[in-house]
Structure 1
Amino acid sequence: MPRRDPFGWISGSCSALQEPSSAAKGLVEVPKRVSTAARDLQLLEPTWALARIGIARMVPYAGFLLLIALSVAWAWQPLITVIGRSLKSGEYEHYSHIVLLPFICAYLLYLNRDAILRHAKPGPRTGILLGLAGTATIWFAGTSVIGALGNRLSVAMLGLVTVWAGSFVICYGVRGLWTAAFPFVLLIFMVPLPPAALAAIIWFLQRTSADASALIFALIGMPFFRDGFVFALPGLTIQVAEECSGIRSSLALLISGLVMAYVLLRGTWTRAIFILVIVPLAIVKNAMRIVVLSWLAIHVDPSFITGSAVHRTSGIPVFLASLTILGGLAGLLRRFEQKGAAA
């Protein structure tokens, strides 16, 4: 008679516990599949985050471009007039820089894009107010009698720049505009100078260039007699005319200097020193051109003054030399800044 195992039921139970059923195995595998799916989602999170950041950046950018396009479509007439005059630099020499300014400002905004986005917070109320003020200014310039065409054009372009600033505030906020202040300040140079202001600036450059020329003539020992803007030189009489004021090259030098100060320098004092040098350098540049051409006319050929190609094109190398001087000064000031930061 076989011996009964009084604990057989325990052995059976233990074997049952040691070998889980297929259903139990399925239940054990579910958490593994869930954990794998969760891990995949975690891997996808950075991709979704980058996508959200890209969309967040593109929305204000696209909105700003749309508002700019709408403003240009509405106020195309003063803008086309200004660009047309800029392309006719021989006739409107003080407009020659305008056609390049939008591209320069767009590049500066691109360089500063990270700082702008850090401070970006759309400001529709303030932006709409600025836009309405600019729109009203453009409408006023086109419908009212302000005076000369140059005055109306100046007012209309000022209104258009204001609309662009308002569009930027709508998309990026007031703090964003403050961060991008320099490119928008530079856009002010797209506003043509009113005739009265232009005449005053030309007279200032004309007078100071004549004064500087007289000083250089005296330093090099050139005998002369001066009567206002007229110089009586040995065998030659010259007049520092409005065309000799160098208004075009002086404006170009000023804009180039401001961009250099913004891009290359960081300190407030170094930027201020650099900017203060620009106007005296423009005056000396004009005077050096007058003196060199006069010396060549006396000692080489009178045609250097009376209308030769050298007379017409001499402003280009003189401007490039002035730009080189500014670049050297910017390099020195930047080195000074770096030494101060290292100390």
Structure 2
Amino acid sequence: MGGASIFGVDTYLQGTNIRSTGGHWDAFNIAGGCSGMRSLMALLMLSAAWAYLSDLKFWKKCVLFLSAIPLAVIGNGVRITSIVVMAEYGNPEFASKTWHDWSGLLFFFPISLFGLAAVHSLLAGELIWKPSQRKKLVVKMNKSH
């Protein structure tokens, strides 16, 4: 697996199993629910709402929406890499249970949300988290006696 090799962990895929070439831990079976489809669907829904509420042109909204696909792949790749590295250098049982369950919150969602913000900033031509020079909306109320 590509990402884990950066950390010196050699793995190989055998069907739906990720295995350690050194045999340091038992194979991780990638179940259908862990394929990333749920994460992708959640990110697509979030990006659709984000695009809809943005003040971008229509084609830019489409790009923002579709950017959820590569962002989900990247986020899940980092998550899987962290699980395999944790199993190799830490506790395999902890990696397969606790770390597997929590790594989505620690890696997938921050990477995905930051990625959507970065794509939006590129499309908007400005940093969306930095105060802009936009006009402020002021609502004046008439006092009637």
**Superposition TM-score, scaled by structure 1 size:** 0.33
Q: Which residue of 223, 229, 232 maps to 2:16?
A: 229
Residue 256 of structure 1, CA deviation: 0.8
Q: 8 Å contact 1:244–1:286 — kept in the other structure? A: no
Query: Structure 1, residues 79-109: CA drift from partner, whole Å, max 9, x if none?
Result: xxxxxxxxxxxxxxxxxxxxxxxxxxxxxxx
Question: In structure 2, what is the equivalent of residue 274 of structure 1?
Answer: 64
Residue 80 of structure 2: which of 271, 287, 290 is its match?
A: 290
Bigger relative CO (Cα 8 Å, ≥ 6 apart): 2
Given the superposition, is the C-alpha separation of residues 295 and 218 from structure 1 closer, same or farther in structure 2, using an over 3 Å criterion?
A: closer
Q: How many residues align?
A: 122
SS of alignment partner, residue 266 of structure 1 = coil
The superposition leaves residues 169-200 of structure 1 with CA deviations (integer Å, 9 ceiling, x where unpaired) of xxxxxxxxxxxxxxxxxxxxxxxxxxxxxxxx
Give the deviation of 1:258 after TM superposition. Answer: 1.0
Q: Distance in 2 between matches of 1:220 and 1:311?
A: 18
Distance 1:256 1:226 in 2: 31
- How big is the shift at 1:221? 4.6
Tell me if 1:325 matches 2:112: no
Q: Tell me the C-alpha RMSD between the 2 structures.
A: 2.1
Report the alpha carbon displacement of residue 218 of structure 1 after superposing the two structures with TM: 4.5
Shift of 1:278: 0.9
Match in the other structure for 1:242: 32
Task: Give unpaired runs (5+ residues) of structure 2.
Answer: 127-145
Task: List alignment gaps of at least 5 residues for structure 1.
Answer: 1-213, 337-343
The structure carrying a bigger helix percent of its residues is 1
Identity %: 27
What pairs up with 1:204-223 in 2 under 5 angstroms? 214-223=1-10
**Structure 1 runs, 4 residues or longer, greater than 6 Å off:** none
Between the aligned partners of 1:304 and 1:276, the Cα distance in structure 2 is 34
Q: How far is the alpha carbon of 1:322 from its aligned partner?
A: 1.0
User: Which amino acid in the other structure matches residue 10 of structure 2?
Assistant: P
Distance 1:292 1:281, change over 3 A: same
SS in structure 2 of the partner of residue 243 of structure 1 = helix
Is the Cα–Cα contact under 8 Å of residues 54 and 61 in structure 2 kept in the other structure?
Answer: no
Match of residue 311, structure 1, among 100, 122, 130: 100
- Structure of higher CA gyration radius: 1
1:276 and 1:322 map into 2 onto residues whose CA distance is 12
